[in-house]
């Protein structure tokens, strides 16, 4: 892709998880800096891996990137932003207010709503004129689509709330120390919507689901006024005169998806970036991503498939099915195939006669279109934030109607109009799903990592609040967090692709879960070329790198690892989902015989 993104100071990279936003944002920022521009690279992704890619530890303040004169980078880390805000509010109280009161205020400021708003406050600051005076370009690497759209909707939501709030509803109390004002909301959105200031770079892959998501994102951003858009199709496979059936199938699948590209995307200026044989880790690969002249010489490739101590997905489901019920959380970075695997697991459990509830918290998930059908024993739902918020408001009004006069009802309605209500409503819906797993299987397809961690923060805050405020006789109550910490009740499946960055991000998620007292049960390595037996030179080069990543997972991170093959036909519909589980995708992919499901140094698995 030629570096044509030079006409606006702000470059806003967005798209579905796993499409390569971070790689392209980094490569573009490096290219601009190499051309003599002053560039600030910013990540708004709570699960950012800019540090690993660039080889420098980043923080909330800009830091120079070694080896790239003119380039500085920073992470807007939501938790760090929220902690800085909490400290601004609490610091003046220390030594002047009772310790109990200080603790209470800190607890009030522990919710995901505070985290979101504090993060947006930092994001909005980067769109101010002072930054444009320091840099020629500010390049934003955003979180996956759903999280980013939520971030961009906050200014309007909070402005509407402030406009309608005339009675001092309690929600404003914890946020009174924020520097955000209505004029700052307006200025941030105005900068993003100004085609002379901002180019929105929609990143996608040559895949049906990614292109559909890009179309949806383009429409929602246009509705917010962000109309200056450009499309980048990343990872387009261009085989060198190959007769390899896997290479030909991959090319055909991509070309079919591109031929059916939604019309709204066809009208956008478009660039294609070829599929590269190397991982995007370090400055040399990032420079080579957009520059054909920098391609490294071909490596040795993969001479033979090494023995991999991994299980089949079917083998994992055998163990999942044994208790007859349970809460199965499918988690990971966006774009790794969580929705497909959640659908496959739920359908297989239902086929085996178990009652199953398949749900999703991902705004960008397409559960129904992935299943393409229905099964006995299988219930499908979605935690829709808008619907859950409306239901929560109506339920709250009904519950308190008898005790409220007209003035009290008006005050409650103002409080419930706060965007914070959505956080509470989604958490309540999530809690119901956790409880439902006492008598059935609940398979939850979660949103990409950062969005999910905010939900887990709310779960932890609720648990702490109950254990702190309930009288001793009520402490036998089991909170959702307690159920999620119970390995006999909850099984967390971490999904990753066999590439450096997805594995690293899954490992970081595992660390976050462990800090919350939740131990992941298994890893699933999805879309593995190793399991296809391809002989194409470029694909064999990628398979060589894959083998190293699978070995890394088995060695460093997981007791149970399942390897799921790439399939020539997209795994949608009940028949193909079943083939994905059983590895019976004949004509789609070859695969090595699965090995043991445990490492030799681990104790035997409890199969009861």
Catalytic residues: 18, 20-23, 45, 501
SS3 42: strand
CA angle, corner 83, sides to 469 and 520, nearest 5? Answer: 70
Rounded CA-CA distance 171/174 in Å is: 7
Rounded CA-CA distance 549/503 in Å is: 7
Task: Quickly count: other Cβ atoms within 10 Å of residue 376's Cβ.
Answer: 8
CB distance 432 to 395 below 8 Å: no
C-alpha closest to that of 499 among 210, 279, 204, 302 = 279
Rounded CA-CA distance 472/477 in Å is: 10
Rounded CA-CA distance 491/330 in Å is: 9
Q: Distance from CA of residue 409 to its chain's centroid?
A: 38
Task: Quickly count: other Cβ atoms within 10 Å of residue 496's Cβ.
Answer: 28
Angle, in degrees to the nearest 10, between helices 574-582 and 313-321? 100
List CB contacts of 543: < 8 A, sequence separation 6 or more: 301, 302, 305, 529, 530, 534
Q: End-to-end distance of the chain based on CA atoms, in angstroms? A: 54
Q: At 47, list the tokens.
A: 């699960």
Q: Which element (helix H / strand E) includes 199?
A: strand 198-204
Q: What are the DSSP E strand ranges found in 297-407?
A: 326-331, 356-360, 378-380
Task: Quickly count: other Cβ atoms within 10 Å of residue 296's Cβ.
Answer: 12
Give the phi and the psi of residue 345 in degrees, each rounded to 5: -65, -45
Task: Give the residues across from 523 on adjacent strands.
Answer: 494, 561
SS3 377: coil
Task: Quickly count: other Cβ atoms within 10 Å of residue 297's Cβ.
Answer: 4
C-alpha closest to that of 420 among 178, 93, 188, 218 = 178
Rounded CA-CA distance 454/451 in Å is: 5
H helix intervals, 136-262: 145-164, 182-193, 208-223, 245-259
Rounded CA-CA distance 260/255 in Å is: 9
User: Which residue is listed with tokens 């500085």?
Assistant: 72
C-alpha closest to that of 108 among 123, 124, 93, 125 = 93
SS (H, E, C) 336-367: CCHHHHHHHHHHHHHHCCCCEEEEECCCCCCH
């Amino acid at each position: 892709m030629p570096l044509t993104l030079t006409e606006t100071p702000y470059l806003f990279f967005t798209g579905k998880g796993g499409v390569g936003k971070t790689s392209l944002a980094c490569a573009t920022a490096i290219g601009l800096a190499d051309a003599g521009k002053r560039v600030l690279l910013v990540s708004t992704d709570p699960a950012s891996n800019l540090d690993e890619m660039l080889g420098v530890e980043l923080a909330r303040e800009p830091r120079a990137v070694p080896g790239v004169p003119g380039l500085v980078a920073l992470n807007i880390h939501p938790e760090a932003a929220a902690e800085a805000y909490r400290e601004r509010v609490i610091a003046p109280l220390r030594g002047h207010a009772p310790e109990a009161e200080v603790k209470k205020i800190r607890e009030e400021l522990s919710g995901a709503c505070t985290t979101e708003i504090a993060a947006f406050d930092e994001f909005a600051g980067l769109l101010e004129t002072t930054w444009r005076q320091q840099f020629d370009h500010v390049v934003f690497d955003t979180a996956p689509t759903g999280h980013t759209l939520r971030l961009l909707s906050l200014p309007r939501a909070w402005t509407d709330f402030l406009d309608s709030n005339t009675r001092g509803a309690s929600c404003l109390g914890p946020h009174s120390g924020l520097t955000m004002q209505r004029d700052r909301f307006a200025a941030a959105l105005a900068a993003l919507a100004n085609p002379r200031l901002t180019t929105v770079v929609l990143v996608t892959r040559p895949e049906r689901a990614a292109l559909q998501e890009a179309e949806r994102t383009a429409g929602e951003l246009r509705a917010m006024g962000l109309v200056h858009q450009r499309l980048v199709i990343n990872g387009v496979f261009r085989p060198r005169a190959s007769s390899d059936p896997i290479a030909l199938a991959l090319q055909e699948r991509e070309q079919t998806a591109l031929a059916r590209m939604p019309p709204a995307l066809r009208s956008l200026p478009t660039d294609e970036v070829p599929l590269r044989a190397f991982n995007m880790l370090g400055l040399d690969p990032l420079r080579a991503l957009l520059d054909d002249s920098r391609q490294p010489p071909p490596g040795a490739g993969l001479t033979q498939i090494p023995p991999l101590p991994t299980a089949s997905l079917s083998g994992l489901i055998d163990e999942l099915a044994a208790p007859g019920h349970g809460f199965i959380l499918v988690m990971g970075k966006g774009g790794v195939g969580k929705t497909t695997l959640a659908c496959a697991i739920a359908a297989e459990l239902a086929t085996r006669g178990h009652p199953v509830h398949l749900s999703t918290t991902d705004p960008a998930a397409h559960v129904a279109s992935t299943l393409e059908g229905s099964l006995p024993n299988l219930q499908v739902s979605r935690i829709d934030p808008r619907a859950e918020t409306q239901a929560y408001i109506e339920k709250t009004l009904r519950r308190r109607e008898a005790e409220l006069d007209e003035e009290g009802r008006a005050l409650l309605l103002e409080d419930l109009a706060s965007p914070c209500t959505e956080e509470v409503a989604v958490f309540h819906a999530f809690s119901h799903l956790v409880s439902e797993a006492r008598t059935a299987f609940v398979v939850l397809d979660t949103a990409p990592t950062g969005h999910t961690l905010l939900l887990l923060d709310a779960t932890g805050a609720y648990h702490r609040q109950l254990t702190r405020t309930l009288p001793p006789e009520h402490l036998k109550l089991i909170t959702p967090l307690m159920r999620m910490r119970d390995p006999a009740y909850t099984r967390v499946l971490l999904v990753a692709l066999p590439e450096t960055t997805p594995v690293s991000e899954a490992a970081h998620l595992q660390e976050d879960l462990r800090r919350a007292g939740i131990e992941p049960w298994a890893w699933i390595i999805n879309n593995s070329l190793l399991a296809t037996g391809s002989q194409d030179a470029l694909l064999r080069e990628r398979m060589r790198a894959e083998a190293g990543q699978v070995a890394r997972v088995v060695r460093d991170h997981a007791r149970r690892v399942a390897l799921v093959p790439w399939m020539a036909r997209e795994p949608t519909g009940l028949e193909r989902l079943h083939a994905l589980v059983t590895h019976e995708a004949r004509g789609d992919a070859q695969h090595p015989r699965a090995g043991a499901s445990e490492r030799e140094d681990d104790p035997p698995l409890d199969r009861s």
